[in-house]
Structure 1
């Protein structure tokens, strides 16, 4: 459905509706998967992806590692704290990678 992506890497509502119909057939636990829940999940995935892209391009940190994330050390801890204040979604990825990164790179 990448071809259905609009501006700002957002999908049209019909795409979320179609996704919810597929997800609902696979659901074994949890709440109903409707278009709004699919849209919200996409928003969270996109937010995490954008946070990692900010980490990857942040000057002064070492290169991103698919195993260790940004690899923040005590030497860069003060910079990390200021960065996380501005980019809250980045916090989980400062010393950890993200299992969905390669999939999101394919979509984006």
Structure 2
């Protein structure tokens, strides 16, 4: 897998976690104009990353625990890191992670 693909995903992960930190817990739980809070936008990405890593490793899926809004960035770093490690040579999975992170950042 090209290191550029991984670097792009890692850079986007940094951008998302920086944005979450800037929002802070209270703004993360507050619904936006469309009624969806930033936390509610992050949690499906967390679950997708966990499910995809499990599929790559051929292990059962597990539900990602719902932690406080203050932990969203940390959860995202851990689960995205697990996914990058599990993806191995599967560049398509890393591209999907990158694309989901871009969409998430834009939605925040």
Q: TM-score, normalised by structure 2?
A: 0.33
Q: Which has the bigger relative contact order, CA under 8 A and spacing at least 6?
A: 2
**Larger Rg, first or second structure (1 or 2):** 1
Q: TM-score, normalised by structure 1?
A: 0.33
